[in-house]
Chain A
Amino acid sequence: MTTEQWTVSGPGDVPEAAAFWAGLAEGRIVLPWCEGCRQTVWLPKAYCPTCLQPVAGSQELAGTGEIYSLTVVHRGEGAWKEHAPYVLAYVALDGGPTMIANLAGDGTGLAIGQRVRLAGVGPLGGALFAPLAE
Chain B
Amino acid sequence: MQVLARIAGAYEHPMRKNSGTSLQTLYQEIVAGALADAGLRPADIDGLFTSATAGGIPSLAETLGLTGLTHIDGTDLGGATYVGALGHAARAIQAGQCSVALVIMAGMPRLAPSVRNFSVPGPPQVFEDRHGSNMIAQYALVAARHMHEFGTTRRDLAEIKAAASYHASFNPNALLPREVSIEEVLESRPIAEPLHMLDCCVTTDGGGALVIVSDEVARDLGRDCPGIVAEAETIRHWNNGNLDLPDVGAFNTGPRAFAQAGLTPADIDYAGLYDSFTITVLTALEGLGFAERGKGGVFVRDGALRADGRLPFNTDGGGLCNNHPDRRGGMIRTIEAVRQLRGEAHPSVQVADCEFAIVHGSGHQLGTRASAVTAILARSDVR
Contact = CB atoms under 8 A, between A and B. Distances in A.
A70 interface: yes
Contact of B136 (A14, A75, A89, A112): A75
A98 B243 contact: yes
Nearest to A113: B148
A128 to B, nearest CB: 9
B124 interface: yes
B156 to A, nearest CB: 17
Contacts of B238: 42-43, 97
Interface residues of B, number: 39
A109 interface: no
A83 B130 CA distance: 12
Given A43-B124, A80-B132, A124-B129, A69 B144 contact: yes
Interface string A96-134: 111111100001000011000000001111110000000
Given A6-B120, A88-B137, A74 B189 contact: yes
Contacts of A102: 131-132
Contact of B141 (A13, A74, A88, A126): A88
Given A41-B240, A42-B240, A42-B241, A100 B133 contact: yes
B241 A72 contact: no
Interface in B128-148: 128-134, 136-137, 140-142, 144-145, 148
B347 interface: no
B193 A12 contact: no
Contacts of B130: 122, 124-126
Given A10-B121, A43-B127, A88-B192, A126 B132 contact: yes
Contacts of B148: 69, 112-113
B121 A96 contact: no
The DSSP consensus for interface residues of chain A is mixed
B240 A74 contact: no
B6 to A, nearest CB: 40
Given A74-B189, A98-B243, A88 B131 contact: yes
A77 B127 contact: no
B123 A7 contact: no
B131 A40 contact: no
A71 B128 CA distance: 14
Interface string B193-231: 111000000000000000000000000000000000000
A32 B109 CA distance: 40
Q: Among A6, A14, A69, A102, which residue has the most Cβ atoms of chain B within 10 A?
A: A69
B129 A72 contact: no
A98 B129 contact: no
Contacts of B144: 69-71, 112
A107 B127 CA distance: 21
Interface string A57-100: 00000000000111111111110100100101110110011111
A78 B195 CA distance: 20
Interface size bucket, A side? 35 or more
Contacts of A93: 241
A99 B241 contact: yes
A14 B123 contact: yes
A129 B195 CA distance: 23
Contacts of B95: none
A101 B123 CA distance: 16
A99 B141 CA distance: 12
Contacts of A23: none
A12 B127 CA distance: 9
A8 interface: yes
A112 B145 contact: yes
B241 A68 contact: no
B112 interface: no
Nearest to B127: A100
Given A39-B240, A98-B242, A71 B141 contact: yes
Nearest to B119: A3
A65 B128 CA distance: 19
A29 to B, nearest CB: 12
A92 B244 CA distance: 11
A90 B141 CA distance: 8
9 contacts: A10-B120, A10-B121, A40-B241, A42-B240, A43-B123, A76-B134, A88-B137, A100-B133, A126-B132
Which 5 residue pairs spanning A and B have beta carbons closest together?
A97-B241, A71-B140, A42-B241, A126-B131, A69-B145
Given A7-B121, A49-B240, 5 more contacts: A13-B126, A71-B137, A77-B134, A100-B127, A124-B130
